[in-house]
Amino acid sequence: MNSLKKVKRSVKELLSLLRYYHQFKKIAQNIQGLEVVSVGDHCLTASVLKNLGLKKHSYPFDWIFSDIRMVNHCIQDGFSTFLDRSEHIKIADSEKLSPDANFCDHRYYKEHFGILFAFNHYDISVNNVYKYYQRCVDRFVNLLRSDRKVIFICISQRICENDFHELSKTLSLYKNKYLLALNFIQREDHLYTCNITSKTENALLYSISRKESIDGTDFQTAQDLISFITVFSSFISTKNQTAPPATASPQPTR
Total structural domains in the chain?
A: 1
Q: Which domain holds residue 218?
A: 15-63+71-79+129-239
Is residue 95 in a domain? Answer: no
Per-residue burial over 80-98, b if 16 or more Cβ lie within 10 Å, else e, is ebbbeeebbeebeeeeeee
For residue 200, the SS3 value is coil
252: Cα within 13 Å, side-chain hemisphere: 10
The CATH number of whichever domain residue 232 belongs to comes to: 3.40.50
Q: What is the pTM of this model?
A: 0.84
Please check whether residue 245 lies inside any domain of the structure.
Answer: no
Task: Please check whether residue 232 lies inside any domain of the structure.
Answer: yes
> Does residue 21 belong to any structural domain of this protein?
yes
20 domain-assigned: yes
112 falls within a domain: no
- The closest of 207, 206, 141 to 177, measured between CA atoms, is 141
Interatomic CA distance for residues 209 and 194, integer angstroms: 7
Question: pLDDT tens string for the chain (254 positions)?
Answer: 445 444 445 556 666 667 666 666 666 666 667 899 999 889 999 999 998 888 999 999 999 999 999 999 999 999 999 999 999 999 887 777 777 777 899 999 999 999 999 998 889 999 999 999 999 999 999 999 999 999 999 999 989 999 999 999 999 999 999 999 999 988 777 778 889 999 999 999 999 988 777 776 778 788 888 888 889 988 988 876 544 444 444 555 44
Residue 146 counted as domain residue: yes
Would you say residue 163 lies in a domain?
Answer: yes
Count CA within 13 A, CB hemisphere, residue 71.
33
Coil, helix or strand for 38?
strand
Cα 91 to Cα 149: distance, rounded to the nearest angstrom: 38
